[in-house]
Structure 1
Amino acid sequence: MNTDTMRERFTRVASELLDEDPRLAVVLAVISADRFARAARAHPHRVVDVGIREQLLVGVAGGMALTGLRPIVHTFASFLVERPFEQVKLDLGHQAAEAVLVSSGASYDVASGGRTHQAPGDIALLDTLDGWTVHVPGHPDEAEALLRHAAAGTGTRVYVRLSEQSNGTARPVGPGRFQVLREGRAGVVVAVGPLLDATLEATRGTDVTVLYASTVRPFDAAGLRAAVAGTTAADVVLVEPYLAGTSVSFAADALRDVPHRVLPLGTAREELRRYGTWREHVAAHGLDAAGIRRQIDGFLARG
């Protein structure tokens, strides 16, 4: 039984991809550099550690992309999307440069690092830009499949969001498609990435359809519409492992001609000024099975 984490799987697979594809490069800012030591010896011109300079991290990736390489750029989410956002916007987006950003740390995996290491708003921030594909795998096997898909792609800017939290079972990934895992008539629950297990437990015995999303951008509007069409009430619950409400506008757009209600579950905007563990933060934000069940029950009862 394989018990590696998403981050461990990423560094192993990315090293293998460097051996297989001369187009690829890996750009680092200290984080995980030790895990790429062998790859750096084998490919010294395609594994670059810029030091603790996150703006330079993305700038170098943009330059590599413009020379024809496909850079895989990696550090914690707060240092990959939030701190160098201007470079993400300009050196990648404005220059139409293609890259694969792979983060670890998720919303609060590194809770002991404090607020500087937390990034619940990363996807909401990327949503202000055009043309990004966003993967949120829920299992190391899914992370590997989505990374390989992203690395092989052309004409795309991709963000792969890795986390310590993981589901017990991997699901087949179909980038851009929601998977129907359970069918019901009382509403639709969309579970994103590592929150699937808690969502399935929370909805056990309830008459709802459960969709699973390991790719959230592009948003599978057709999949959501089809699921809602099979319900008696167009009630939608979004269970996301980042800022609550991040995908509400996408769901609303998908259902623009359908009277509907949406309950957004995710991390709160209010900062939790505690350290603890990521598991404790999950519970504090009501994203464990008990918290999800309580909120879904209340929402459906009010309908």
Structure 2
Amino acid sequence: MTAQVTRKQMRTVFAETVIESLATDPRVVMLTADISSWFFWEVKKDFPDRVHNFGIREQAMIDIAGGFALAGQRPVVHTYAPFLVERPFEQIKIGLGHQDVGAVLVSVGASYDDPSWGRTHQAPGDVALLDTLPGWTVHVPGHEDEVAPLLSKAIAGDNRVYVRLSERANSEAVPVSEKFTVLRRGKAGVVLAVGPVLDQVLAATATADVTVLYASTIRPFDHAGLREAVAAAAPNVVLVEPYLRGTSAFEVTEALGDVPHRLRSFGTWRDREARVYGTPEEHDRLFGVDAESLADSIARFVG
């Protein structure tokens, strides 16, 4: 009998990567707002001036991260997505963006990974909100093995980076790249899967004659990769993202501005509020991003 391998959660890999960076890079400072602070209790004994828990004072945490960046440090900032991006958005805009300093923001919870907490812990609009600000790189890993390489590179840099972790993951990792990875080739259209929705997309398109692209980095958007894929297939583009539906639709339009094409976007609703809380899988079905719903929608769209 083959022994079952226990997989780590993305959040665990994130903590291990930051702890290693604290030991090897004196610029790194770790800022938490209670969430996941327990990962860093031991390493704080070694670096008491570089590991900080601000409790539920997220606005102050972002402004202080900006201060660390102005002083030449590399702040890594972490909490649930709505408390990291939405609640302190003005501080992100001014304290980081307007001052043109860098930080690595690492969220957890994503759109509805932990729905039992209700709407307060959901942020399907986080990437769309950051799209209103210039200069952000956005990583959406779909597997725990994709987290460390993406995060290590982000920490080693000096720009503004958002790493969107998920409690759920695809069954297999894809080698990380800033370009879209071609997983299948077909003629009826192109399906772009972002991060942890890849398994649903692969299952939904198992018998479809479509090209499947995968992205663990969605900003900057790989315009050239999409153009190349569309040039070899029918100009039918399906965008499946694990957050607000149509978030990257404007990027598709930019990429294919001179190419007649059709676009269908999938993700969480943007025209009405979900007022029920079940399991993440039930939310997938509610928003139409489960494999069965996607298979039907994609077949009708490209067919």
TM-score range, shorter chain: over 0.9
Aligned ranges for residues 84-95 of structure 1 at < 5 Å?
84-95=88-99
* Alpha-carbon shift at residue 286 of structure 1 (Å): 1.1
Aligned mates of 1:2, 1:144 — CA distance in 2: 17
Correspondence for 1:159: 162
Matching residue's letter, 1:211:
L
Cα 1:141–1:223 change in 2 (3 A) is same
Aligned mates of 1:89, 1:110 — CA distance in 2: 27
Correspondence for 2:191: 189
Correspondence for 2:119: 115
Aligned mates of 2:141, 2:6 — CA distance in 1: 16
Post-superposition CA distance 1:15-73 (Å, at most 9, x none):
11111111111011111111110121111100011111010110110000000000000
Correspondence for 2:265: 264
Post-superposition CA distance 1:215-267 (Å, at most 9, x none):
00000000000000001x20000000000000000001100000001000111
Correspondence for 1:11: 15
Aligned mates of 1:73, 1:2 — CA distance in 2: 27
Aligned mates of 1:34, 1:111 — CA distance in 2: 22
1:295 equivalent to 2:297? Answer: yes
1:101 equivalent to 2:105? Answer: yes
Post-superposition CA distance 1:63-100 (Å, at most 9, x none):
00000000000000000000000000000000011100
* Alpha-carbon shift at residue 137 of structure 1 (Å): 0.1
SS in 2 for 1:236: strand
User: Over aligned residues, Cα RMSD in angstroms?
Assistant: 0.9
Correspondence for 1:140: 144
Matching residue's letter, 1:97:
V
Matching residue's letter, 1:30:
D
Aligned ranges for residues 185-224 of structure 1 at < 5 Å?
185-224=187-226
Matching residue's letter, 2:257:
R
Matching residue's letter, 1:70:
R
Aligned mates of 1:110, 1:67 — CA distance in 2: 36
Matching residue's letter, 2:174:
R
Aligned ranges for residues 53-68 of structure 1 at < 5 Å?
53-68=57-72
Correspondence for 1:254: 255
Seq. identity, %: 58
Matching residue's letter, 1:247:
S
Specify which of 79, 82, 98 is matched with residue 83 of structure 2: 79
Aligned mates of 1:104, 1:53 — CA distance in 2: 17
Correspondence for 1:29: 33
Correspondence for 1:241: 242
Aligned mates of 1:9, 1:263 — CA distance in 2: 34
Contact 2:74–2:103 (Cα < 8 Å) also in 1: yes
Correspondence for 2:52: 48
Aligned mates of 1:71, 1:137 — CA distance in 2: 20
Aligned mates of 1:274, 1:217 — CA distance in 2: 31
* Alpha-carbon shift at residue 115 of structure 1 (Å): 0.9
1:170 equivalent to 2:173? Answer: yes
Aligned mates of 2:163, 2:225 — CA distance in 1: 21
Aligned mates of 2:219, 2:275 — CA distance in 1: 30
Count of residue correspondences: 298
Contact 2:192–2:239 (Cα < 8 Å) also in 1: yes
SS in 2 for 1:86: helix
* Alpha-carbon shift at residue 2 of structure 1 (Å): 4.4
Which structure 2 segments of 5+ residues have no match?
A: none
Correspondence for 2:128: 124
Answer with 81-90 or 36-45: which moved more: 36-45
Aligned mates of 1:279, 1:56 — CA distance in 2: 35
Which structure 1 segments of 5+ residues have no match?
A: none
SS in 2 for 1:109: coil
SS in 2 for 1:61: helix
Which segments of structure 1 move beyond 4 Å, counting only runs of 4 or more? none
Aligned mates of 1:190, 1:209 — CA distance in 2: 8
TM, length-normalised to structure 1: 0.97
